[in-house]
């Protein structure tokens, strides 16, 4: 669906923003996201590229983001996650947001756009990793995955702590938790060869626990981790089947 909003005529008040979202909604998209496990209740069916485009035109504003969040429409909350001013919310506010999350996509967008900007994010990970609420616990591992992907310098002590948190999840069989745990393990493995080897060892240990969740996480992560290789000029490891890896191999072979 074509985005019907532009920077020139971007709405600035919540009713107009909701009208813009509704103009880009479809029952077909709504049915697709429901099939992915996103609650149908209070969902309009707006594609994420439209929401990103609208967020870009709106800019950052905590006041507007809180107003959008209060509407309790799924897409309005996704938009709010992109409008909050990074690094400006306190932990009480972050916990308040997370406590109202009822879907994996909103959880992950908050992690990437809001939680990752908190200077004390490792404390949030430790706090949330043993939570009972599904999406609070997922947030801990989605945040690990996000930081492992984007942070250029993660200390070995912190990485070791995160591996320990992952190992503690061998008995949690909730789909949206164990998928985030596997995601975190895989993204850590992309950092470099030594960390990949540590991640593979953790995956093997999870498989050997004998629990359903542990086996699933270990096997799911191992498939990607075992295929990761170093390519000169790349900050992170890549799949051996990627174009970059194959080009590097062809260059080395040609030499």
List C-alpha distances in Å: 60 to 55, 83, 87, 100: 8, 5, 12, 21
Alpha-helical (H) ranges within 129-211 are 134-150, 156-167, 175-189, 193-208
Q: How far apart are CA 93 and CA 131, in angstroms?
A: 17
Residue 229: strand, helix, or coil: strand
List C-alpha distances in Å: 43 to 131, 135, 153: 26, 18, 38
Is residue 165's pLDDT more than 90? Answer: yes
Is residue 254's pLDDT more than 70? Answer: no
Q: What percent of the chain has pLDDT over 90?
A: 86
Q: Which long-range contacts (CB under 8 A, 24 or more apart) does 120-123 make?
A: 120/91, 121/147, 122/158, 122/161, 123/91
Residue 239: strand, helix, or coil: strand
* Nearest residue to 178 (alpha-carbon basis) of 149, 144, 215, 230: 215
Residue 22: strand, helix, or coil: helix
| Mean local confidence (pLDDT), 12-40 | 92
Res 5: pLDDT: 46
CA 20 from chain centre, in angstroms, equals 26
Res 253: pLDDT: 67
pLDDT, one tens digit per residue, over 221-253 is: 999 999 999 999 999 999 999 999 999 888 876
Contact 14, 71 (CB under 8 A): yes
């Amino acid at each position: 669906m074509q985005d019907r909003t532009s920077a020139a005529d971007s709405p600035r008040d919540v009713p107009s923003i909701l009208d813009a979202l509704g103009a880009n909604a479809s029952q077909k998209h709504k049915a697709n996201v429901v099939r992915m496990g996103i609650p149908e209740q209070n969902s309009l069916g707006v594609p994420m590229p439209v929401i990103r485009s609208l967020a870009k035109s709106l800019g950052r504003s905590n006041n507007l983001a809180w107003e959008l969040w209060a509407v309790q429409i799924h897409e309005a909350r996704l938009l709010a996650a992109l409008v909050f001013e990074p690094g400006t919310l306190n932990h009480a506010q972050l916990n308040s947001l997370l406590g109202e999350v009822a879907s994996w996509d909103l959880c992950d967008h908050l992690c990437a756009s809001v939680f990752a900007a908190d200077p004390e994010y490792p404390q949030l990970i430790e706090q949330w990793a043993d939570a009972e609420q599904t999406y609070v616990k997922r947030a801990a591992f989605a945040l690990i995955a996000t930081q492992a992907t984007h942070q250029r310098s993660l200390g070995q002590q912190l990485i070791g702590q995160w591996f320990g948190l992952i190992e503690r999840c061998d008995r949690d069989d909730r789909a949206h938790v164990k998928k985030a745990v596997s995601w975190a393990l895989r993204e850590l493995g992309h950092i470099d060869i030594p960390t990949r080897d540590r991640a593979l060892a953790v995956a093997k240990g999870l498989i050997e626990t004998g629990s359903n969740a542990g086996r699933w996480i270990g096997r799911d992560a191992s498939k990607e981790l075992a295929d990761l290789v170093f390519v000169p000029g790349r900050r992170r490891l890549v799949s051996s089947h990627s174009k970059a890896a194959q080009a590097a191999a062809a260059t080395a072979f040609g030499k």
